[in-house]
Each structure stands twice: as structure tokens, then as C-alpha cells.
Amino acid sequence: MKSNRYKQVLTITLLFNFTTILNLSLVVAKETETYIVQLSCPPDHINAETEHLESWYKTFLPTVNTDSDEKPEMVYAYRNVLKGFAAKLTVEQASEIEKLDGAILAQPERVLSLHTTHTPNFLGLTLLEK
């Protein structure tokens, strides 16, 4: 009798833990964070100096995502160093973008620390004494 009761309590506990972990993983998957999306060069008819470039970037944002209530939002449009944009996306949305033609990479934003605060000394650019 005690063995049966023990099995029931253990089963309920395991089931509760499993559902809690499953719910937490679903919540984490739906959270948005800033992603840097790198794209290949735009088609010839899009001028890189105009608002057409930003409109082209917006075509890469997922329009409808049934699994998330969060609508993707463009944060910044890159124009000079690389072609692409920064956007608030979920993991699912970022992987959707990477599958599109013209998309090279969608990776989470990272904050990097400086290697030195004394750049001139680090580069050997010291002032000559007169």
C-alpha cells in the first residue's frame, strides 16, 4: 500500500516538474532580443543612399508569426560598413530570416569589452620629447 502511494506521489512530482520545464522553455523561446542581420548586396534597382534601402530591409522582417505575440521591430539600419539591420526578434524569427534569399547571417547582439583604455600607448604612439 505504501509502495503504491509512493509511486503516485513520485509520478505527480515528475509530471509537475516536466510541465514546468516545458512551459519555461516555451517562454524563453518567445522572448525577443536584438539581432544583427547581415544581408547580401541589394538588387541593382535599389539605391543604397535612399529610403529604398530601409524598405528593402523591412521585407526581411517576418510579417506574421503565429507562435509569438511580439511583432519584429527594426532598431537600426546599417548603410556603410555592411548591408543589414538590427532588429528585436525571437529565436524563431531570426532563424526564419536566415533561410531567406539574400540573408547571410542573423546573430544575437553582443557587447564586447575594450582590450585597452590607453590606445595610443598600446599602439606605440608616444609623444616625442623636445
Output the domain CATH number for residue 44.
3.30.70.80
Q: For residues 78 and 54, give the distance between their C-alpha atoms in angstroms, rounded to a whole number.
A: 9
Give the other-Cβ count within 10 Å of 82's Cβ. Answer: 13
In a domain, 80, yes or no: yes
What is the arithmetic mean of pLDDT over 95-119? Answer: 86
The per-residue pLDDT for range 15-69, each reduced to its tens digit, is: 777 777 766 655 555 688 999 999 998 877 777 677 788 888 888 998 755 455 6
What's the structural domain count of the chain?
1
Cell digits for 48? 543604397
**CB proximity list for 12: less than 8 A, separation 6 or greater:** none
Return the pLDDT at 9. 74
Q: What is the pTM of this model?
A: 0.61
Q: For residues 97 and 63, give the distance between their C-alpha atoms in angstroms, rounded to a whole number.
A: 11
Q: For residues 98 and 62, give the distance between their C-alpha atoms in angstroms, rounded to a whole number.
A: 11
In a domain, 22, yes or no: no
In a domain, 40, yes or no: yes
pLDDT over 70 at 102, yes or no: yes
